[in-house]
Amino acid sequence: MQEEHKKPMKILYILSSTEHLPLLQQYIASVDRLDELVKIQTTHPTPAQAVKMLCLAVHNNQISPMLDWQNLMMPYIFPQQIALNENHFLGMIFGLLGNFDKAYRYLAETPLWQEWDYYLRLYSNQPVAVEALEKKLEQTEDPLECYRAYHNIAFIYYYAYLYEPESLLRIEYYFLKALKAAPHTVARLFSTKQYANFLADIGQVEKANSLLAEAKSLAQDNLIQAALGFVWVQVMMKKLAVPYDANLLQQLKNTLWDTLQFYEKNQCKAESALLLMDASMIANIENSFAESLGYVNKAIQLFKEEELAQLIGEACLRKGILLYTWSKNGQPQFYRPALEAFQEALKYFDKENAPDVFADIHHHLGIVYAEMPDENKKRSIWAALSASSFKEALEFFNKQDYPYEYAVVANNYANAMTLYPQMKKADNFAKALELYDEALSIRNPDQYPYERALTLMNYLEASWQVSNAEEGFNEERFQDMVSKALEIKVLVDDVQLKDEADKHLEALEKLKTSFQQNA
């Protein structure tokens, strides 16, 4: 769950002692109009200021970049004791403002540019010579520099090399070393935040939960408490699964609400919008669809104000899923708004740059097109659009590379086929059975018993509608249906599914008896 980083701030704040004020003003005045981007203050920022600013502290003839709790940058820690001079000062300012060309002009001949080179490589997805950092660490004795190196090496492996062999062990090792070497509580909490994100990404949600619970108890600053609360919500949302834990839902709502209030009060639009997306999902789980829609619409508006295009697209996708769920719960008037939301999401994710999301959106479109309420003469048009979208989804979610997703799409494509208008020269139900068989080839009883049972039930229902090639009783299909109904009864403990399987078995037995009597 590597965090989203917002665009560089338009204003950089310098926290300075009064003795350095004339010199800093002189440095800033040496660059035309830089005073429009940089503000100096001699008092600590208020919470409302702190949540929105990048900040350099200047004291004792040294520059110290303050830790970024607002995700304004990637969490790379720069040297904390930089000698105060014009090149260092202006180079760090332009780097933090995102103007790397100007930063290079001032820092090219200094060791600081090596730090920015690491950052810039991460920023632009280029290889990072992390081994050089590890070698340098072996020769480092300064405790503060050791902590910084541990944290940065862990983050570089996490951000750039997460899926390479041995990276998981290295990331874990260096984060633990960083936590142990942290010079103060705030630094330890800063590394904890990134470590928890890493643990959640590799599926160790409970470990991340314990780590964040301890961290939140140590945090004294409201901004740090909110930042840790924000990460905790993102981590624990990963734990939500059917059947939903009522206690977890309540804990999530409480922490989410407290954290959201902090960010809304301080006009942090991106964080507020992300939390509103989570609130929308929770409301959806609780079938509070109107409340959920209100949250997601507000999130979309905030993302638009911050010009966060990818997040706008993700929110539109979430909105489409919500409206579709609502339409399935007795409100068919929301099919078209759901369709519009998915089509809006496609504007932000194209096949070349985001093929997975593009395919996922088409998967949802395939379902909505198939179920769209409309007059019969238009059903064939919707069916054609549905089939086209499912084919787009299966082009990416192929059986070899994405077997689980392939099974989901195949099952839903088969469901859709049973809703298409019947063609004169083809049997939609027979094609549906082929797709159900594809899904069943992935959904084996050991790994996916519940998903397999649902697909088996879909298969049974479609089997009743398949045209027989010959007149009379089809013994092969009869035995196939009986075996699938019996399998459902031993696969799961779901009472409803077992009852439906029994109904199929009773109907099959009646069919066979009727045929035998009339033979």
Picking from 196, 200, 197, 147, the residue whose alpha carbon sits closest to that of residue 174 is: 147
Give the whole-angstrom CA distance, residue 257 versus residue 409: 35
- What is the percent of the chain with per-residue pLDDT over 70, rounded to a whole number? 94
* Dihedral angle over CA of 261, 262, 265, 270, nearest 10: -90
Last residue of one domain, picked from the residues 137, 152, 183: 183
The pLDDT of residue 11: 76
Whether residue 147 is contained in a domain is answered as yes
Whether residue 81 is contained in a domain is answered as yes
Quick one: 149 and 117 in the same domain?
no
Average pLDDT of every residue of the chain: 92
The pLDDT of residue 343: 97
The pLDDT of residue 13: 87
The pLDDT of residue 6: 47
Q: What is the pLDDT of residues 313-356, one digit of tens each?
A: 999 999 999 999 999 999 999 999 999 999 999 999 999 999 99
Quick one: 34 and 106 in the same domain?
yes
Last residue of one domain, picked from the residues 107, 124, 141: 124
H helices of 205-354, in order, are 205-218, 222-237, 246-265, 269-285, 289-305, 309-328, 335-346
3-state secondary structure of 511: helix
Quick one: 78 and 109 in the same domain?
yes
Quick one: 139 and 115 in the same domain?
no
What average pLDDT does range 473-495 have in this prediction? 93
Q: Count of domains in the chain?
A: 2
Backbone angles phi, psi at 13, to 5 degrees: -100, 140
Quick one: 4 and 118 in the same domain?
yes
The pLDDT of residue 251: 94
Quick one: 27 and 75 in the same domain?
yes
* Dihedral angle over CA of 481, 486, 487, 493, nearest 10: 130
- What is the percent of the chain with per-residue pLDDT over 90, rounded to a whole number? 78
Q: Enter the DSSP assignment of 184.
A: S
Give the whole-angstrom CA distance, residue 277 versus residue 263: 14
Q: Treating both helix axes as pointing N-terminal to C-terminal, what angle do 309-328 and 335-346 enclose, rounded to 10 degrees?
A: 160
Give the whole-angstrom CA distance, residue 477 versus residue 491: 21
Give the whole-angstrom CA distance, residue 202 versus residue 168: 9
Last residue of one domain, picked from the residues 82, 105, 124: 124
The pLDDT of residue 47: 58
Neighbours of 402 (CB within 10 A): 17
Q: What is the pLDDT of residues 271-281, one digit of tens each?
A: 999 999 999 99
Picking from 211, 177, 216, the residue whose alpha carbon sits closest to that of residue 196 is: 211
Quick one: 108 and 133 in the same domain?
no
Burial bucket for residue 143 (CB in 10 Å: 0-12, 13-18, 19+): exposed
The pLDDT of residue 466: 87
Picking from 352, 350, 280, 271, the residue whose alpha carbon sits closest to that of residue 320 is: 280
Instruction: Assess whether pLDDT exceeds 80 at residue 1.
Output: no
Domain containing residue 137: 127-183
63's CB contacts (< 8 A; 6+ apart) are: 56, 57, 82, 83, 84, 88, 89, 92
What average pLDDT does range 498-514 have in this prediction? 94
Give the whole-angstrom CA distance, residue 279 versus residue 65: 34
Give Cα 407 to chain centroid, integer Å: 21
Cis peptide before 243 (omega within 30 of 0): yes
Whether residue 422 is contained in a domain is answered as no
Q: Enter the DSSP assignment of 334.
A: G
For residue 54, the cross-strand partners are: 12
Least confident interval from 83-87, 134-138, 480-484: 134-138
Q: What is the pLDDT of residues 447-474, one digit of tens each?
A: 999 999 999 999 999 999 987 555 567 8
The pLDDT of residue 8: 47
What average pLDDT does range 162-183 have in this prediction? 94
What average pLDDT does range 345-374 have in this prediction? 96
Whether residue 41 is contained in a domain is answered as yes
Give Cα 274 to chain centroid, integer Å: 10
Least confident interval from 33-37, 76-80, 153-157, 511-515: 511-515
Whether residue 76 is contained in a domain is answered as yes
Give the CATH number of the domain where residue 6 resides: 3.40.50
Whether residue 286 is contained in a domain is answered as no
Instruction: Assess whether pLDDT exceeds 80 at residue 518.
Output: no
The pLDDT of residue 472: 66
What average pLDDT does range 146-157 have in this prediction? 96
Q: Treating both helix axes as pointing N-terminal to C-terminal, what angle do 112-123 and 143-160 enclose, rounded to 10 degrees?
A: 20
The pLDDT of residue 398: 96
Quick one: 38 and 149 in the same domain?
no
Whether residue 485 is contained in a domain is answered as no
Q: What is the pLDDT of residues 279-304, one digit of tens each?
A: 999 999 999 999 999 999 999 999 99
What average pLDDT does range 177-206 have in this prediction? 96
Give the whole-angstrom CA distance, residue 394 versus residue 386: 12
Enter the pTM of the model: 0.81
Which two three-digit tokens encode residue 154?
Answer: 């862990």
377's CB contacts (< 8 A; 6+ apart) are: none
Quick one: 139 and 120 in the same domain?
no
518/174: higher pLDDT: 174
Whether residue 139 is contained in a domain is answered as yes
Give the whole-angstrom CA distance, residue 505 versus residue 494: 17
Backbone angles phi, psi at 125, to 5 degrees: 60, 40
Give ∠ CA 283-286-292 in degrees, rounded to 5: 20
Q: What is the pLDDT of residues 91-133, one digit of tens each?
A: 999 999 999 999 999 999 999 999 999 999 999 989 998 998 9
The identity of residue 485, as a single letter, is A
Quick one: 13 and 76 in the same domain?
yes
Quick one: 116 and 147 in the same domain?
no
Quick one: 31 and 84 in the same domain?
yes
Q: What is the pLDDT of residues 409-427, one digit of tens each?
A: 999 999 999 999 987 656 8
Q: What is the pLDDT of residues 45-81, one digit of tens each?
A: 665 566 656 688 999 999 999 898 888 889 999 999 9
Three-state helix/strand/coil letters over 66-95: CCCCCCCCCCCCCCCCEECCHHHHHHHHHH
